[in-house]
Amino acid sequence: MRYIPHTEDDVARMLRVVGKPSVASLFDHIPERLRAKRPLDIAPLDEARLLAHLGELGAKSRPAVGVTEREGAALSFLGAGLTSHHVPTAVDMMLMRSEWYTSYTPYQPEVSQGTLTAIFEFQTMVSELYGLGLANASMYDGATAAAEALMMAERLTGKHKSLLSYALHPHYTDTIYTYLRSQHGHEAEGYAPCVSFGKDGRVDQGQLSAALSAGDVGCVVVQSPNFFGVVEDVAAIAKLAHDAGALLVVANAEPLAFGVLQSPGAVGADIAVGEGIGLAIPPSLGGPGVGLFAARPEYVRQLPGRLVGETTDKDGRRGYVLTLATREQHIRREKATSNICTNQGLIALAFTIHMSLLGRRGFTELARINLSLSEHAKSVLTKVPGVSLAFTGATFNEFTLALPRNAFDVVKALAERGIYAGVSSRAAGLYRAETPPSTGGTKLVAPDDRWLTLAVTERHDRSTIDRLAAALTEVLR
């Protein structure tokens, strides 16, 4: 075993020092009733065969992202919570330095300045992108970050009712409900009814103000750009929420949007959460990603998750440490702001490196490229007979088409042509027509099964957009 150094001689000698007759005797104190009754039945593989076995498993999927289509990747327009951007090679090459990936939580700052400094930079970037003065060292993902934000808002306002935009990513909604159920049992959905969206694809402000009018709402959660790609009028929503004594949580699955859009913080969000995977690493079936979490600085004591702060060493040199740990479980135990411990450090690092590479100028330019290509795609695809835009609201790099027939069938037909055309909002695991979330008495627009949401990014160009249009035309014919 190449990872276990012990030779027979080593073991014999160590046992003599330990004073035990055999390796088995080290386990003698485990009571019989608890012992495994038979040896493990898992076959070992040498490295070459191991790689072949995994390679064969891998070959059973057709990736959405690859270097070339000749290597087998499809032409993908998938977004829906994970819009993969081209992450430069320099990022992964850096992640492979073992000082990054084989270290752990920087408990000992004198030998962890690398990780600590990088997290401090990450916090700064998240804070900048979301326009809020405070950001943590990462959450598991966008969905759990949203759930934690809602719970943080509950703590801050002392109110237990929230409102969720129905155009929030269904996974986020589901995760919030899971978390809420653990607090409130099966009545959870009543604690967080949904607010519908209008023909423009945005939160229905009329419904929202009605739902807020009782003054019992602690927090409103909207996503922008939302699940359908539409940019919400965050400023207006913030005003409504604040006027009703509620906090506004803005969720976001595409931080790049804030290269061209006002940051949530700049237009009134109190907490902003998001998902950084698409700007950090390849899609990897959606995980590991990195949950982004930013808030107004005055809320720092209620913030979940780790924080790195600046300090100095004995000689007065600037350095970084984990700080304000009294919010956290290992000090506060049942009084902690969250139970989170291990977070998504390495992906946060990837995000930080990529943001550094893009830089101020590149980030903005990349956002503009996405916007321009997406607008172009809209104009090309809506020329396909029977196809129109589902919503009138402005979008960034993701938008929703209304097709003349069931979008899921179209997606399947296009997949056979090597094109992953996007997501039908009625696909498995998303909106369930049968079990809509709590409406809190208001009427929800059921997502149409002819809606197709797709993302157009710098990975595409005029010709790949034309290919999609041509294939779509063919399939719809």
Partner 1 sequence: MSDRRIPEVHPVDTLNLLHTEKLIFEQGAPGRSGASLPPLDVPAIDPASLFGSMARTEAPLLPEVSEVEVTRHFTRLSRWNYAIDIGLYPLGSCTMKYNPKVNERTARMPGFAGVHPMQLESTMQGALELMWRLEQCLIELTGFQRVTLQPAAGAHGELCGIMMVRAYHTARGKSPKKVLIPDSAHGTNPATCAANGLEVVGLKTGADGIIDLESVKAAIAAHPNDIAGIMITNPSTLGLFEEHLGEIADLVHEAGGLVYMDGANFNALLGKVRPGASGVDVMHINLHKTFTTPHGGGGPGSGVVGVGERLVPFLPTPIVEPLADGGEGYRLDYDRPQSIGRMRSFFGNFGMFVRAYTYMRELGGEGLTKATEMAVLNANYVRALLSDVYSLAYDKPSMHEVVFTDKRLKKETGVQTLDVAKRLIDFGYHPPTIYFPLPAVTGGAGALMIEPTETEAPETLEHFCAAMRAIAVEAIADPSIAKSAPLNTAMRRLDETKAARNPKLRWTPTT
* Residue 51 interacting with a second copy (CB under 8 A): yes
Residue 74 CB, nearest distance to a second copy (Å)? 14
Nearer to ligand PLP, 314 or 333 (CB): 333
Instruction: Please choose, from the candidates 389, 381, 377, the residue with its C-alpha nearest in 3D space to the C-alpha of residue 451.
Output: 389
Instruction: Find the radius of gyration of the CA atoms of the chain.
Output: 25
* Residue 71 interacting with a second copy (CB under 8 A): yes
Alpha carbons 184 and 176: distance in angstroms, whole number? 12
Name 408's Cβ contacts closer than 8 Å, sequence gap at least 6.
424, 426, 427, 449
Q: Which stretch binds partner 1 (CB under 8 A): 62-70, 191-199, 206-214, 241-249?
A: 62-70
402 binds, among ligand PLP, partner 1, a second copy, none (CB under 5 to 8 A by kind): none
Residue 272 CB, nearest distance to a second copy (Å)? 29
Residue 94 CB, nearest distance to a second copy (Å)? 9
Looking only at the bridges linking them, the beta strands covering 217-223 and 318-322 are unpaired
**Tokens (6 digits) for 186:** 């099966």
Nearer to partner 1, 14 or 445 (CB): 14
Lookup result for tokens 């485990």: 30
* Residue 62 interacting with a second copy (CB under 8 A): no
Separation of CA 90 from chain center: 22
Nearer to ligand PLP, 102 or 342 (CB): 342
* Residue 258 interacting with partner 1 (CB under 8 A): yes
334 binds, among partner 1, a second copy, ligand PLP, none (CB under 5 to 8 A by kind): partner 1
List binders of partner 1 among 188-207 (CB under 8 A): none
Neighbour order of strands in the sheet with 247-252: 134-135, 291-295, 271-275, 247-252, 217-223, 161-165, 194-195
List binders of ligand PLP among 336-355 (CB under 6 A): 341-342
Output phi, psi for 400, to 5 deg: -120, 130
- Identity of the amino acid at 331: I
> Kindly report the CA angle at 143 between 283 and 193, in degrees rounded to 5?
140
Nearer to ligand PLP, 107 or 190 (CB): 107
Nearer to partner 1, 110 or 243 (CB): 110
* Residue 56 interacting with a second copy (CB under 8 A): yes
* Residue 2 interacting with a second copy (CB under 8 A): yes
Interface pattern 78-117 for a second copy (x via CB under 8 A): --------x-xx---x--xx--------------------
Name 443's Cβ contacts closer than 8 Å, sequence gap at least 6.
196
Torsion angle, alpha carbons of 259, 261, 264, 268, to 10: 140
- Identity of the amino acid at 80: A
Alpha carbons 277 and 460: distance in angstroms, whole number? 19
* Residue 72 interacting with partner 1 (CB under 8 A): yes
Interface pattern 342-381 for a second copy (x via CB under 8 A): ---------------x------------------------
* Residue 477 interacting with partner 1 (CB under 8 A): no
* Residue 466 interacting with partner 1 (CB under 8 A): no
**Tokens (6 digits) for 157:** 């306002």
If 0-12 CB within 10 Å is exposed, 13-18 middle and 19+ buried, where does residue 433 land? exposed
Separation of CA 147 from chain center: 12
Residue 158 CB, nearest distance to partner 1 (Å)? 16
Q: Which residues bind a second copy (CB under 8 A)?
A: 2, 47-48, 51-52, 54-56, 59, 66-68, 70-71, 86, 88-89, 93, 96-97, 357, 458-459
Q: Which residues bind ligand PLP (CB under 6 A)?
A: 341-342
